[in-house]
Structure 1
Amino acid sequence: MSFRLATVPGKPDRPNEDFAAVGANAAVLLDGAGTPPGTESGCLHGVAWFARTLGGLLLGALGADATLSGALGASIERVNRLHADTCDLKHSDTPSATVVAVRWGTTDIEYLVLADSVLVFDRVGDAPEVVTDDREAMVGRELRKPMDALATGTPEHARALRDYVAALADHRNRPGGFWVANTDPAAADEAITGRVRRDEVASMALLSDGASRLADRFGLATWRDTLDTLSAEGPAGLIRQVRRAEDSDPDGLRWPRGKAHDDATVVYGHAED
């Protein structure tokens, strides 16, 4: 397969907390769960470090003969060992991340999706197949209503965002709640996994939720539109469209959201001729 990748931070003065990479037989995308300014996480390294460290270790682990969930669980344990002596890994706001991982062989493509990043397969002769984990969205639907009623960028919205993030923490990595990659290797077993035949996939896209907004939050594009944009304009072209939409609604009045602009990352792979 041939791949293109693009990533753009949500704000130039804050680190990009997404991570994506492609190896010889695998690709990964992680979206670090950023904490609102002024929120302590117990980790001196921060969310961006966590996402790129876990992502790099996971990509390496996918080269071995292990299940995708096994590779993710082992990689979480390795990250824990890297900063257990310096950071409070039991803190409620310890860094976490969504995970999308794919690994391909001669005949099949295996996949893993944990939390709300998105994997889209362009199925040959069929509609796109979308794989995402909506448990956080289901939990957060009621919790986010006070935040969504306020204009993005106001002090009131910032306070509501902090309250929302704190309320979500009570449901994170718990039965009946939602699951993300942080310090508990068992979260890997809660991921959505599966496989598709390689000859049935014309292309595939791994998207952080900052890049999938046109389709799943703004309703400005279908998944077919998204794949067509990626084919014609590449990942950078899709992100430019997302930014134009965000810029048209800077206060979040049309599309309520936690951030006016989010980190946006796309990995796009297509079958070689």
Structure 2
Amino acid sequence: METTCATRPGDTFNEDFVTAGGHFAVVLDGATPEPGEDNGCVHSVRWLVQRLGSRLTAGLIEHEDAPLPELLRTAIAAAMEAHGGQCDLGNPRSPSATVAVLRAHDGRVDHLVLGDSAVVVQTGDQTVEAVVDERIHGFPERSWAELRHLRNRAGGFWVAGNSPEAAAHALTGSRPAKEIRRACALTDGAYRLVERYDWSWYELLDGLERDGPEAVLTLTRAAESATPAGTFPGKHHDDATVALCLIGGEDGPHPASAAGPG
């Protein structure tokens, strides 16, 4: 598995995390804290994301056979322990992150998604499947003050942070590696061209392979800058991170076409 990564900060500093090894890619997106609100934690979101990401990465290296939810559960528990008892992890505003993982192992490619990061997979027959955890967007009429009490609860949504149980609620799947042409793991800030600007997932994958992740993030920033602030909900510029994985499928890697099905 050949992986190329890129990341860009949003309006402030970057709270994303990305790493890759010979058989895996990990992307995390830290949830920016609500301004002026006590989150019960003496640590920053970046601190949490770095610890979650490093512990998940270590698990992927040391335990190649372990189920991805088990590795994520262990990483969340370790990150919680790293708080050292200084923080109120029962606070519904405590730091958290979304997670996307791709792993090639034993002739298969596994994925895990928790929160609104995404994994996108293209098979050899050009079929593209996007795995996005939409549960956090299932409450459009709720304010953030209400949403925080739905975090890591049955009937709500799940993120990595203060509950190892959240790992069991991640979206997971596995495919034979020979069926997969290419795939990517990315944060929601990196798929805005699809979410807001009418790109297809195929076009996004094609752009990532043909032009590279840095170029696609540059296009994303250009589209955002050309859009008046307030046109879309949320941040005008969000942290954006992507890991593109070329896997090959039955025919092996080959150059991306100039265009593809939408």
TM-score (norm 2): 0.90
Aligned twin of 1:148: none
CA distance in 1, matches of 2:247, 2:102: 14
Alignment of 1:142 onto 2:141: yes
Contact 2:56-2:75 at 8 Å conserved across structures: yes
User: Runs of 5+ in structure 1 lacking a partner?
Assistant: 144-163
Letter in 1 for 2:16: D
- From 251, 256, 264, the counterpart of 2:229: 251
Aligned twin of 1:56: 54
Contact 2:5-2:244 at 8 Å conserved across structures: yes
CA distance in 2, matches of 1:259, 1:118: 18
Displacement after TM superposition at 1:51 (Å) = 0.9
CA distance in 1, matches of 2:228, 2:34: 18
Displacement after TM superposition at 1:132 (Å) = 1.0
CA distance in 2, matches of 1:109, 1:271: 9
Contact 2:121-2:183 at 8 Å conserved across structures: yes
Alignment of 1:191 onto 2:170: yes
Alignment of 1:271 onto 2:250: no
Aligned twin of 2:121: 121
SS in 1 for 2:189: coil
SS in 1 for 2:29: strand
Cα deviation per residue 1:172-194 (whole Å; 9 max; x = unaligned)? Answer: 11111111111110000000111
Letter in 2 for 1:176: G
Aligned twin of 1:204: 183
Letter in 1 for 2:150: H
CA distance in 1, matches of 2:145, 2:215: 35
Aligned twin of 1:8: 8
Letter in 1 for 2:163: D
Contact 2:73-2:165 at 8 Å conserved across structures: yes
Contact 1:15-1:48 at 8 Å conserved across structures: no
CA distance in 2, matches of 1:242, 1:138: 25
Aligned twin of 1:177: 156
CA distance in 2, matches of 1:261, 1:213: 10
Letter in 1 for 2:95: P
Alignment of 1:213 onto 2:189: no
Alignment of 1:229 onto 2:207: yes
Displacement after TM superposition at 1:165 (Å) = 2.6
Residues 40-189 of structure 1 correspond to what in structure 2 (within 5 A)? 40-63=38-61, 64=63, 65-139=65-139, 141-143=140-142, 164-189=143-168
Size of the alignment, in residue pairs?
247
SS in 2 for 1:210: helix
Letter in 2 for 1:44: V
Displacement after TM superposition at 1:126 (Å) = 2.9
Displacement after TM superposition at 1:41 (Å) = 1.7
Q: For the aligned residues, what is the CA RMSD?
A: 1.3
CA distance in 2, matches of 1:92, 1:136: 14
Percent identity reads 39
Contact 2:33-2:93 at 8 Å conserved across structures: yes
Q: Which 4+ stretches in 1 moved above 3 angstroms?
A: none
Cα deviation per residue 1:127-171 (whole Å; 9 max; x = unaligned)? Answer: 2111111000112x222xxxxxxxxxxxxxxxxxxxx33221021
Letter in 1 for 2:188: D
Contact 1:116-1:133 at 8 Å conserved across structures: yes
CA distance in 1, matches of 2:106, 2:215: 30
Alignment of 1:37 onto 2:44: no
Deviates more, 1:91-100 or 1:244-253: 244-253
CA distance in 1, matches of 2:198, 2:222: 11
Letter in 2 for 1:142: E
